[in-house]
Amino acid sequence: MGITFKKTVIVGPGLIGGAIGIAMLKRKISTEIVGIARHCETINKAIKKKAITSGQVCRLNAVKDADLVVLAVPVSAIKSTLKQIKYLLKKGCIVFDVGSTKKEIVDIAEKFLPQGVYFVGTHPMAGSEKKGVDYAKDDFFINSVCLITKTKKTNQRALDKVMILWQELGAATFILTPLKHDKITAQISHLTHLLSAVLVNSVTSNFLQFSGKGFLDTTRIASGNPQLWQDILFSNKKQVLKAVAIFEKNLAKIKNFLQQEDKKNFTRQLARAKKTRDMLCKRNL
């Protein structure tokens, strides 16, 4: 069951937005994709990469007459953009975002977007520490997961269209509430980045020269954009702090086993982690 959108507008045709555009054009889901970016260079690169068919620099009025609007900018920019475009969108337009937090964004969308404009919160769990449309590819979302949020106010027809779109881009889709989304991502994504950064900062600087592949693999996501991650972590502060508390409890537990030379329980914790990690690796083969 294919879907098409006559005119699509992507606000932020960078890594994620660019990958969406490339995939949509290649699969003929949309024949006209307009990109909106802050810099002319981004627009030119996106056109060259065939992520968009045309572009505008800082001109949100390009969303007029759009059948689909994709908000692929940082969380704080998604929230402000929703407020700015509310009177520009035509009736029947579907808007979805790709932000890493959901409750704040969905609350604002449902408060500010007019009746007859349909918002669906989405979060493709496919990213990179790299940024920019240069790294966008048409198969970026193949075998990935996309979390899609639903509330009592979500239009079912719009939800179905957005879900089918993500599936056509190659993602497995899961529908959940914005709050559930934020609880999950706090533990599997946001905490991971926080710990990666803290781990790097915890190593004595002149010891780093001896680090190997294991350290680099473990801390890869610490190379993510600091401003972008500050935006995400503060937007989901309540759930992130709960995730940190769970981590602190588990760290204290294994630290105590080490102090008490309780090798049995210490090894049990390592074995439990290995079993879970191995299972995840098999699932993602």
155 with 268, same domain: the answer is no
Cα gap 270→250, rounded to integer Å:
12
82 with 193, same domain: the answer is no
33 with 86, same domain: the answer is yes
- Can you tell me the mean pLDDT for 265-270? 98
What SS3 class is residue 273?
A: helix
pLDDT digits (tens, 9 = 90+) for 132-168: 899 999 999 999 999 999 999 999 999 999 999 999 9
Contact 39, 65 (CB under 8 A): no
pLDDT digits (tens, 9 = 90+) for 8-33: 999 999 999 999 999 999 999 999 99
123 with 222, same domain: the answer is no
Where among 176, 192, 207 does a domain terminate? Answer: 176
31 with 160, same domain: the answer is yes
- Tell me, what CATH number does 105's domain have? 3.40.50.720
- The DSSP secondary structure of 183-224, one letter per residue, reads HHHIIIIIHHHHHHHHHHHHS-GGGGGG--HHHHHHTGGGGS
For β-strands 144-149 and 118-124, DSSP reports them as antiparallel
Containing structural domain, residue 208: 181-283
Q: How many structural domains is the chain composed of? A: 2
240 with 267, same domain: the answer is yes
Contact 7, 66 (CB under 8 A): yes
Which residues are registered as beta bridge partners of 9?
A: 34, 69
- pLDDT above 70 (res 1): no
- Tell me, what CATH number does 240's domain have? 1.10.3660.10
45 with 155, same domain: the answer is yes
170 with 186, same domain: the answer is no
Q: What is the 3-state secondary structure (H, E, C) of 58-109?
A: CCHHHHCCCCEEEECCCHHHHHHHHHHHCCCCCCCCEEEECCCCCHHHHHHH
162 with 233, same domain: the answer is no
Cα gap 218→214, rounded to integer Å:
6
147 with 208, same domain: the answer is no
Phi, psi of 267 (to 5 degrees): -65, -35
165 with 225, same domain: the answer is no
149 with 70, same domain: the answer is yes
Cα-based torsion angle of the residue sequence 206, 212, 217, 218 in order, rounded to the nearest 10 degrees: -50
What SS3 class is residue 33?
A: strand
pLDDT (0 to 100) of residue 192 = 96
The helix/strand count (H/E) of the chain reads as 11, 8
pLDDT digits (tens, 9 = 90+) for 202-261: 999 999 999 999 999 999 999 988 999 999 999 999 999 999 999 999 999 999 999 999
Q: What is this structure's pTM?
A: 0.91
pLDDT (0 to 100) of residue 176 = 97
Where among 142, 176, 210 does a domain terminate? Answer: 176
Cα gap 102→86, rounded to integer Å:
18
